[in-house]
Chain A
Amino acid sequence: MDLENKNKDHKSKLGNFKLPKLPIKLPKPPPPPTHLGDVELPKTLMYLLPVGGLFTLAFVGAIAAFVITAWWGQPIPVLGFEQTFDQPINFPHTVHASTKQLDYKDADGNTMMGLGTDCTFCHRTVNKTTAAGANAYIPPVNFCANCHGVIGTEDNSQLNILRDAAGIIGEDGTSPINWRRVHRLPDHVRFVHEPHIRYLSANPEHIKGETDGVSTGPSAVCSTCHGNVASMEKVYQVEPLKMRQCVDCHRDNEAPTDCATCHH
């Protein structure tokens, strides 16, 4: 039996089955309700119902966009999802860490230069091996007040929040400053700054990113993950800081990629 006959034979076995003709006619949707009990609904509702559907679609889309943004953790400034927060005090990293000329003017009206402070001057525990070294902590208020008890004008409202919290002005016992956390790692990660700073300080060729701040010491290596913080008025997360980024960098630098290195 040749192929053509075989196909014919096969076709005959299908019997009387017929494919439905396209386009398939769908049942008509029920008309929109005109009465609610005895009350007659306004006719405009009929036209508003499909518009409501569009709104629902837009709402779901917005939620989906939010979830996707949150999942990737990528700052998307164009959509307004930039991860910049208003902190209790508008702390400018530019003034403290940058080494460049700034837009700020001091009390005498002269343009200011950045101070060029090393990151570890304030974030003291970041390169310590102790348990506290896991986090680059925000310094205590009194540490800020050591300088700002004197430095800065007396009518500077932002500095007065700090002086109030430090007990220099106002009453004692005011509440602490609730800084908002900017950089967040995914759950289940035990990240410690110290070995990363130690390695990158010893191998500066692996540093990624540039900084406006001092280019030596621990400050130079921070830009690899934190971006150019010295140029930021408000700090935001530059890198996605997801596991893929960690593992890529660990592979490039022959660091351990055992699960238990970070997950325990």
Chain B
Amino acid sequence: MTTDIEKFGTRNWGMIADLDKCTGCQACVIACQAENNIPINTQDRVERARSISWIRVERYWEGDFPDTKARFIPVMCQHCENAPCEPVCPVYASYHNSEGLNVQVYNRCVGTRYCANACPYIVRFFNYWDPVWPESLRNHLNPDVTIRSRGIMEKCSFCIQRINRTSREAKSEGRELEDGEIQTACSAACGTHGIVFGDFNDPNSRVSKLRNHKRAFTLLEQFGTDPNVIYLAKVDPNRNNSEEGHH
């Protein structure tokens, strides 16, 4: 009998975020909230730093006044190959599956929050309250995604419900998955097509080609987490060459 890894481990999902195309419009954030049944971040939750957003657009300033430029960088779960969140979980709620995804199993999670402390990217979120939605949004929830109850961790899943559904459709039609067929909510919503999702194990996929781009870098590379989310650096024609590679 073949193991799962031999039989199904033919994929390594990854994402490319081109910062040169990012306008900081937050469409990916909204799309993610809608797709993944994320509770609404009311003012009091944000003030207590307990808001949940699986993807956030970080804004930072570059250059000295008056040549200041706003820079944006969308940060979601990096799905690290050496994920710091995985070994700290006492109940194996956070684990790496054969498709290169860092999976959070909600019904295993007991809410120790070790993983959130271990994560250097701050992309894991704890449910301090049961999620509530206003009455007008009663029927808006995505039926393919679990609603996380109080007391468990959650994070970006690379829209695994979309991966599963599209894989299922391809299998039903008896064909192989095509590159670009699976779109995460954020990549589908990105107006400038700055976020690309695909399979790193497929050498002809767009993400595999972009991975070796000269602008490619990963967040907090010094920690050796080996993320599956690759960023392409901002192109700045006015930038001094001596500052190249500083991020």
Contact = CB atoms under 8 A, between A and B. Distances in A.
Nearest to A186: B107
Contacts, number: 65
Interface of B: 1-2, 4, 7-8, 95, 97-99, 101, 103, 105-108, 143-146, 157, 160-161, 164-165, 168-169, 171-173
B115 to A, nearest CB: 15
Contact of A260 (B143, B160, B165, B171): B160
B181 to A, nearest CB: 13
Given A134-B143, A263-B106, A129 B164 contact: no
Given A194-B168, A194-B172, A263 B105 contact: yes
Nearest to A135: B143
A188 B104 CA distance: 12
B171 A195 contact: yes
A190 B163 CA distance: 13
A258 B172 contact: no
Contact of B1 (A129, A187, A254): A254
A129 B168 contact: yes
A263 B107 contact: yes
Interface in A2-52: none
A257 interface: yes
Contact of A264 (B4, B99, B146): B146
Contacts of B4: 256-258
A218 to B, nearest CB: 13
Given A258-B97, A263-B105, A190 B144 contact: yes
14 contacts: A134-B144, A188-B106, A190-B146, A195-B168, A195-B171, A256-B4, A257-B4, A258-B98, A258-B99, A259-B105, A260-B101, A260-B105, A263-B106, A264-B146
Q: How large is the interface on A (under 10, 10 to 19, 20 to 34, 35 or more residues)?
A: 10 to 19
Contacts of A194: 168, 172
A257 B98 CA distance: 11
Most buried by B among A187, A195, A254, A259: A259
A131 interface: yes
A162 interface: no
A183 interface: no
Nearest to A188: B107
A264 B143 CA distance: 11
A264 B164 contact: yes
A222 interface: no
Nearest to B170: A129
Given A129-B168, A264-B161, A259 B146 contact: no
B145 A264 contact: yes
Nearest to B159: A264
A192 interface: yes
Interface string A238-264: 000000000000000010111111011
8 closest residue pairs by CB, A with B: A188-B107, A260-B103, A264-B160, A129-B169, A129-B172, A259-B105, A258-B97, A263-B105
B157 A264 contact: yes
A198 interface: yes
Nearest to B174: A198
Contacts of B160: 260, 264
A116 B73 CA distance: 60
Interface string A125-145: 000010100100000000000
Contacts of A129: 165, 168-169, 172-173
Contacts of A190: 144, 146, 161, 164
Given A194-B172, A260-B97, A264-B157, A131 B165 contact: yes
Contacts of B101: 260
A195 B2 contact: no
A131 B142 CA distance: 10
Given A188-B106, A258-B4, A263 B168 contact: no
Nearest to A251: B1
Contacts of B168: 129, 192, 194-195
Most buried by B among A129, A192, A198: A129
A135 to B, nearest CB: 9
